[in-house]
């Protein structure tokens, strides 16, 4: 795979070669080099890949918005509900004012279910 950095987001010296540490599922799996904002490497699939580019510092423009809200932190944010065919798993994710999500999934497969329907309420409204 080849990764190309956006110089408007992550500033780098175009002619400089940077050492890169490669990770797969939070485990170090090798090293590579990046030059001119391009990193070419091979990684096995089935997991989360990460790169540490030595000598670069990221300055993201969105993280100042990410602030967990106390009222959601006090609630139960993760639950598993036994169902006749597997489980329903649910999580409340709060990243700050106006940045709330619910993530739900069923462990059942299409062999177990042909359809599912979600009913929910928000602030007492369905």
Query: Is the pTM of the predicted complex or chain greater than 0.95?
Result: no
* Averaged pLDDT for residues 3-25: 89
Helices (H), ranges, the chain: 70-73
Tell me the C-alpha distance between 17 and 38, whole Å: 10
Q: Is the pLDDT of residue 65 over 90?
A: no
Per-residue confidence (pLDDT) for residue 75, from 0 to 100: 57
Which range in 6-10, 35-39, 43-47 is most confidently predicted, on average pLDDT?
35-39
DSSP structural state of residue 122: B
Q: Is the pLDDT of residue 37 over 70?
A: yes
Tell me the C-alpha distance between 31 and 29, whole Å: 7
Q: Are 41 and 14 in contact (CB under 8 A)?
A: no
* Averaged pLDDT for residues 38-67: 79
* Averaged pLDDT for residues 92-100: 76
**DSSP-derived pairing of the beta strands 2-4 and 49-53:** unpaired
Per-residue confidence (pLDDT) for residue 68, from 0 to 100: 58
**Domain boundaries defined on the chain:** 2-59, 65-126
Per-residue confidence (pLDDT) for residue 78, from 0 to 100: 84
């Amino acid at each position: 795979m080849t990764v190309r950095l956006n110089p408007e987001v992550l500033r780098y010296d175009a002619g400089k070669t940077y050492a890169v540490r490669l990770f797969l599922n939070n485990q170090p799996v090798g090293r590579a080099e990046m030059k001119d904002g391009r990193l070419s490497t091979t990684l096995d699939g089935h997991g989360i890949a990460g790169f540490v580019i030595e000598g670069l510092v990221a300055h993201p423009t969105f993280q100042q918005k990410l602030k967990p809200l106390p009222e959601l932190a006090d609630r139960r944010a993760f639950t598993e509900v036994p169902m006749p065919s597997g489980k329903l798993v649910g999580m409340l994710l709060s990243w700050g004012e106006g940045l709330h999500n619910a993530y739900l999934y069923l462990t059942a497969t299409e062999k177990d279910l042909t359809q599912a329907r979600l009913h929910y309420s928000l602030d007492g409204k369905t």
